[in-house]
Structure 1
Amino acid sequence: MLRLRVPHSVTLHRPVPRFGVLFTALPVASRMNATHVLAALVVGIATGFVFAGLRVPLPAPPSLPGIVGIVGIYVGYRIVEATGVGFDLLSWLGLG
């Protein structure tokens, strides 16, 4: 059986407040930065031009519902992270 060893000084879960706006529960480094969002948009547009120019398929869902689904996955992850709701699957399986 494979067991992962984590030093006791390593904290795997940080306490998260159960109130407030979603982004107040995120650490400062994780909060959105408009410059990073704009840079990501510009790089994404440039990458789209390159993929279209080379006539290769996009490495992303080709329709708006697929993209909205990806955004939904991200929002759901952040909600669970902010509320502290979760289940330790590895411990339940005896691996953690």
Structure 2
Amino acid sequence: MGRYDHRAHASSFGVLLIALSLPSRMNTTLVVAALLVGVATGVVFAGLRVPLPAPPSLPGVVGIIGIYIGYRVVEATGLGFDLLGWLGLG
């Protein structure tokens, strides 16, 4: 029986793994601070009885996570099209 080569297995998911890896400059303090600010913002919006500036349901939140994952996949693969450059705006 041959030795398991994790690199061969990971190559099929390599793009996704690279896309989902956290940037090296990200740390726990920033994540916790962002969560606290988000909770405080939610409390303020609910207290003032105004609608959230984000999807108020789990499918909406999952959609936002999907947008982030898709963005990271394109960044990791180098695929993409410079629309602003093509339009002469960038």
Q: Same fold (TM over 0.5)?
A: yes
Q: How does 1:14-29 map to 2 (within 5 A)?
A: 21-22=17-18, 23=21, 26=23, 28-29=24-25
Q: Do residues 77 (structure 1) and 71 (structure 2) align?
A: yes
Aligned mates of 1:53, 1:94 — CA distance in 2: 43
User: What is the aligned residue count?
Assistant: 73
Flag the structure with more relative contact order, 1 or 2, with Cα contacts below 8 A and sequence separation at least 6.
1
Segments of structure 2 that go 5 or more residues without pairing to the other structure are: 1-13
Distance 1:40 1:85 in 2: 29
Instruction: Give the TM-score, by structure 1 length.
Output: 0.63
Q: RMSD of aligned C-alpha atoms?
A: 2.3
More helix, by proportion: 2
- Provide TM-score, normalisation by structure 2: 0.66
CA distance in 1, matches of 2:39, 2:84: 39
Q: Which residue number in structure 1 is paired with residue 57 of structure 2?
A: 63
Structure 2 distance, partners of 1:35, 1:80, is 27
Q: Which runs of 5+ in 1 are unaligned?
A: 1-18
Identity of aligned residues (%): 67
